[in-house]
Amino acid sequence: MNFSDGSNGVPVPQRYLAVLTIGLAVTLAVMDGAIANVALPSIAHDLHASPSKSIWVINAYQLVATIFLLPLASLGEIIGYRRVYLGGLVVFTLASLACALSGSLLTLTLARVLQGLGAAGIMSVNAALTRFVYPSKLLGRGMGINALIAATSAAIAPTIASALLSVGPWPWLFAVNVPVGLIAFVAALRSLPMTPLASHKFDTASAALHGVMMASFIFTLEGLAHGQKALFIVLEFALALVSGALLVQRQLTRTAPLLPIDLLRIPLFRLSAITSTCSFMAQMLAFTALPFYIEGSLGRTAVQTGLLMTPWPMATVIAAPISGRLADRYSAGVLGGIGLSIFACGLATLAMLPAHAHPVDIMWRMAVCGIGFGLFQSPNNRAMISAAPPRRTGGASGALGTSRLLGQTIGATLVALMFNVFTSNGTVVCLILAASVAAIAAGVSSLRLLLPPSARKWG
């Protein structure tokens, strides 16, 4: 194990083992965010829970992961990204075992809360570790590999879940994480580098305000989508605003704020963060709405729906490493603008699908979306991480994960809202909205081309 200052990375073969370690942990965190969806009916049946209550098996994981991303990224700057990563792996692995042994909805939900905390530990600093594992000249390649791993994990999650459920009960979905987590932990001990430590103390009050702000904001979105009483929505939104205002006021005086206001002052970082949030919002709008069209309007089975949607993540798998290599040579503004424009066109063609579309008509459109998204993601991630000074890599890494989860949360909520408002053509409206958001993201990405060199980094 070597110390890394973020400029030269770590030597080969340690670098390869570190990449494998990061990949294993990211795979676990990404897959478990989606894998429980497939088993939810079985979980609800076996634990004698209603569908409305069983949804907390999914929501608990996502909510906790979103709340703790930035605080754990800040903690990583103070105690080291390696320690936060190892701690996240331990918590995630033990929580997976607890999920597998759960005998009630309450114990399973509590175990999923811990799993979300462990996933936040992994996802909050994985980009930061990547910066210290790779030489700066190869950072785009490293981000491309990260994007490839995340896309592949998301693509195969339903298949793996279906395969495991065909030979065993739902606890196997969680039990399989235990040996993989142990392998990743041992590899992490041997390969992940020590990184420079910050001198400031962890800001507990800011972490608490951030948690209240994020939770109340997400509950506000959920309330709007599912027709909650107006009074509760107003109170939740008011709590989000008040806690957010207090948090921002507190952060303005900090040299290394938990909410990365200092990084948002960097124009390249700010534009990249907005681009990331909008792109993941568009992706989730489409990903959530399309199965309703394919199964409801076209009468396909769940398995057929999965196959028809597979070209999207598979195309992303192909495009991500290519764009990662290009990102070390070309501007994120160019690559992101081109990728998101292709993405928007793909979404627009999906919105124009005929009533009885042939499978090929669906699949090529899915592939166009995947290519566009893959071209954008790696350069944008590289821009966010490289725009931050090395001592604030944790804040940039946390902001990267938060923008992804926030965009996905808003996108999924908008689907529920559009389905409630447009009962007859909700899917088409969602796809038009997704294409519009992707086009806006392409425009924001292209604005980075107008920035002078002095506005593209810290200092």
Residue 1 has pLDDT above 60, yes or no: no
Segments making up each domain of the chain, as ranges: 1-201, 204-253, 260-459
DSSP, collapsed to helix, strand or coil, labels residue 3 as strand
The pair of three-digit structure tokens given for residue 11, joined into one six-digit string: 């030597």
The pair of three-digit structure tokens given for residue 62, joined into one six-digit string: 């996502």
For 365-385, give the secondary structure using H, E and C.
HHHHHHHHHHHHHHHHHHHHH
The answer to whether the 1-201 and 260-459 domains have the same CATH topology is yes
**Burial class, 316, CB count within 10 angstroms (exposed 0-12 / middle 13-18 / buried 19+):** buried
At residue 38 the predicted structure's pLDDT band, cuts being 50, 70 and 90, is low
Would you state the pLDDT for residue 455? 61
Mean per-residue pLDDT of the chain: 86
Would you state the pLDDT for residue 142? 81
Region 296-301: mean pLDDT is 76
- Helix pair angle (426-447, 393-421), 10° resolution: 150
Distances (CA, A) of 99 to 24, 26, 238, 274: 19, 19, 35, 35
Kindly report, residue by residue over 417-443, the tens digit of the pLDDT: 888 888 778 889 999 999 999 999 999
Would you state the pLDDT for residue 226? 73
> What percentage of the chain has pLDDT greater than the value 70?
95
Distances (CA, A) of 375 to 334, 354, 371, 432: 10, 28, 6, 21
The answer to whether the beta carbons of residues 259 and 206 sit under 8 Å apart is yes
Q: Which residue has the tokens 């590899």?
A: 187
At residue 2 the predicted structure's pLDDT band, cuts being 50, 70 and 90, is low
**Burial class, 417, CB count within 10 angstroms (exposed 0-12 / middle 13-18 / buried 19+):** middle
Q: Which of 33-37, 188-192, 289-293 has the lowest mean pLDDT?
A: 33-37
**Burial class, 318, CB count within 10 angstroms (exposed 0-12 / middle 13-18 / buried 19+):** middle
Q: Which residue has the higher pLDDT, 196 or 364?
A: 364
Would you state the pLDDT for residue 335? 92
The domain made up of 260-459 has a fold known as Growth Hormone; Chain: A; (1.20.1250)
Kindly report, residue by residue over 361-409, the tens digit of the pLDDT: 999 999 999 999 989 888 898 888 888 888 888 888 888 888 888 888 8
DSSP, collapsed to helix, strand or coil, labels residue 446 as helix
Q: Which residue has the tokens 């919002």?
A: 281
Kindly report, residue by residue over 200-214, the tens digit of the pLDDT: 889 999 999 999 999
The answer to whether the beta carbons of residues 343 and 376 sit under 8 Å apart is yes
DSSP, collapsed to helix, strand or coil, labels residue 194 as strand
At residue 302 the predicted structure's pLDDT band, cuts being 50, 70 and 90, is low
The CATH number assigned to the domain with range 1-201 reads 1.20.1250.20
Q: How far apart are CA 309 and CA 30, in angstroms?
A: 18
Would you state the pLDDT for residue 71? 93
At residue 446 the predicted structure's pLDDT band, cuts being 50, 70 and 90, is very high
Kindly report, residue by residue over 87-103, the tens digit of the pLDDT: 999 999 999 999 999 98
